[in-house]
């Protein structure tokens, strides 16, 4: 196991997360446009992509563990942040490419969280609207739905 293996995995993970971001942006557009078929497709794609998240995390942890053992790098955990911090103290390693890619990954994850939160809010508003509409339609107090005076 070499540093290039970690870099390649991070690059692959970045491409995967970009695909995930693209999918949830399409999902947002489907929600806004009331495109049920598009929403179903993006949800299916999102589910397939989510399965890979655990795989990437496990692979990264394994690579970091192997590299730490191979090069006697002391880290407090097998997390990328801890590994990068431990590398900064070693002269024989130049973690700049990994640091840049890690920074890009963090920005991508931040964008994913933002879009995901927006999608959650849109779905919640839609659910509340449907509940209120159904409630108004089946209300027993027989008050008019619309005020004719308005």
Q: pLDDT tens for residues 23-76?
A: 999 999 999 998 999 999 999 999 888 888 888 889 999 999 999 998 888 888
**Model confidence at 145: pLDDT above 70:** no
CA triplet 111, 32, 52: central angle to 5 degrees?
45
Report how far residue 85's alpha carbon sits from residue 21's, in angstroms, rounded to the nearest whole number.
28
pLDDT at 64: 93
Contacts of 38 (CB under 8 A, 6+ apart): 26, 27, 29, 30
Q: Are 28 and 119 in contact (CB under 8 A)?
A: yes
Q: Which two tokens stand for residue 125?
A: 């508003």
Report how far residue 24's alpha carbon sits from residue 112's, in angstroms, rounded to the nearest whole number.
8
Average per-residue pLDDT for the chain: 88
pTM of the model: 0.81
Contacts of 58 (CB under 8 A, 6+ apart): none
**Model confidence at 96: pLDDT above 80:** yes
User: In this prediction, what percent of the chain has a pLDDT beyond 90?
Assistant: 53
pLDDT at 71: 87
**Total length of the chain:** 150
**Model confidence at 146: pLDDT above 80:** no
**Model confidence at 17: pLDDT above 70:** yes
The residue that leads in pLDDT, 1 or 122, is 122
Count of CB atoms situated within 10 Å of the CB of 128: 10
């Amino acid at each position: 196991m070499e540093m290039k293996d970690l870099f390649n995995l991070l690059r692959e993970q970045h491409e995967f997360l970009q695909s995930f971001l693209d999918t949830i942006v399409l999902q947002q557009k489907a929600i806004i446009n009331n495109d049920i078929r598009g929403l179903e497709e993006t949800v299916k794609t999102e589910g397939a992509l989510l399965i890979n998240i655990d795989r990437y995390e496990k692979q990264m942890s394994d690579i970091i563990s192997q590299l730490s053992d191979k090069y006697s790098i002391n880290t407090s955990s097998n997390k990328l942040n801890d590994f990068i911090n431990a590398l900064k103290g070693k002269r024989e390693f130049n973690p700049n490419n990994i640091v840049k890619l890690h920074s890009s990954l963090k920005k991508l994850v931040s964008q994913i969280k933002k879009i995901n939160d927006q999608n959650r809010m849109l779905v919640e508003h839609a659910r509340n609207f449907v509940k209120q509409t159904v409630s108004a339609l089946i209300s027993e107090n027989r008050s008019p739905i619309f005020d004719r005076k308005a």
